[in-house]
Amino acid sequence: MKKMFYKCKSLKELNLSNFITDNVTDMRNVFSGCSLLKELNLSNFNTNKVTNMSRMFSECGSLKKLNLSNFNTDNVINMSRMFFGCSVLRELDISNFNTHKIVNMNNMFSHCYSLNNSDLSNFKIENIDDINNMFKGCSNELINKIKSNNKNFINSNNIKYCIIIWIKLFSKILMIK
């Protein structure tokens, strides 16, 4: 489904509750750039096999509410820029997101200025390799919700990611010598 509705700028409503997505593995950029999209029904999406959700809703600047409580994210490894630029998104239900396998969430909520009414009680980011700018431009309320669920979270800087990069670079230097 990669780029299926990509930059469909005239779409205002979309009901995909009858879509059969049982075998889909890539949902990258599916709705990215749908700047006028205000209503989106994904209530029966089967995401069991999906591994990539990067930029899925990126730049959906008119979307105010999104319910993804039915999404199974057990196999997802990439959620980078998933909601990037969803500037008026106020309500987001990702209460059932499993982030255990995810390695990349950079800019996931970046520029989601209005987002504060979200159930993030199960949302964990402690094992993620890249969370750079994950909450850039987000409200302190949203950041505090994430912090309360993730004891090792330090602002929006990912020290773990920096250490991994440093180790990789150091390893390469040693290999060269």
Residue 30, Cβ density class (10 Å: 0-12 exposed, 13-18 middle, ≥19 buried) = buried
Is 46 within 8 Å of 22 (Cβ atoms)?
yes
pLDDT band at residue 157 under the 50/70/90 scheme: very low
pLDDT at 145 over 50: yes
Task: Dig out the tokens for 9 from the structure.
Answer: 């700028």
Residue-range definition of the domain harbouring residue 22: 1-177
- pTM for the predicted model, two decimal places: 0.80
- Over residues 77-119, the pLDDT tens digits come to 999 999 999 999 999 988 888 888 889 999 999 999 888 777 6
Count of domains for the chain = 1
